[in-house]
Amino acid sequence: MLLRIQLFAGLAERLQTSVLSYSVPKSEITADELKIALSISYPEAASQISVSFVAVNQEYAPGDYLITENAEIALIPPVSGGDGQASVHVLSKDGRFCITDQPLSVDDVTSKVLDPNHGATLSFVGTTREMTGEQRTVHLEYEAYIPMALSQLEAIGKDIDTRWPGTLCAISHRIGKVDIMETSVIIAISTGHRDDCYEASRYAIEKLKQSVPIWKKEIWDDGSEWKGHQKGPWDPTVRL
């Protein structure tokens, strides 16, 4: 069977393609078997493939998941959240979750969670910093697997509502070029009480960094580097 595998960030850069056509000599293959086969076929990217997760139909697939020919397949390297895509502005059905290449507005995102019965509203704003130790960042570039990223943002909202019933959550994430002091992500939370608001906001950004397929490339004066998960072994399926 012939598989069409979407690639992102440093993995796409290493293999010099965003879509890989890969032939498998049988009618189905597990996610783990596919990673092993790809590592053998592309040894130059084996280290990146080994720490990546396979996504099937926009969901992270366990290692024993059987992949068939018509599946939508992506190989997801450790996430961090490339060049952006022109004129991107994708909203969830309820409008509270967004992936866009346009500047973000705190007022706009916060307005989506205001509720007359909520006494606490909190907005987290992530911006591009210039200095990391001695390293000077010129700007950042974000890339996303947009449909899966949006569904993962919605999943964060549903999870928050389960953990803190009645909490409202809105998240907007920017892709493409983001300059120094510009905003890359806004998370707005509203709850009945402030303790839940702080906890839900912290949970949202940590879960976003763990599981949403958005990648960050740091551009420096003298080079660049894709930044991914930096807190030990990466597993986007683990519950926080």
Residue 238, burial from CB neighbour count under 10 angstroms (0-12, 13-18, 19+) = exposed
Residue 189 CB: number of other CB atoms within 10 A? Answer: 29
Question: 62: helix, coil or strand?
Answer: coil
Q: Which CATH code, of 1.20.210.10, 1.10.10.10, 3.90.1170.40, 3.90.1580.10, is assigned to 89-227?
A: 3.90.1170.40
CATH fold of 2-76: Ubiquitin-like (UB roll) (3.10.20)
Q: Where are the domains of the chain?
A: 2-76, 89-227
Question: 59: helix, coil or strand?
Answer: strand
- Judge if 2-76 and 89-227 fold alike in CATH terms: no
pLDDT tens digits, residue range 157-211? 999 999 999 999 999 999 999 999 999 999 999 999 999 999 999 999 999 999 9
pTM reported for the whole predicted model: 0.89
pLDDT tens digits, residue range 41-87? 999 999 999 999 999 999 999 999 999 999 999 999 988 763 334 46
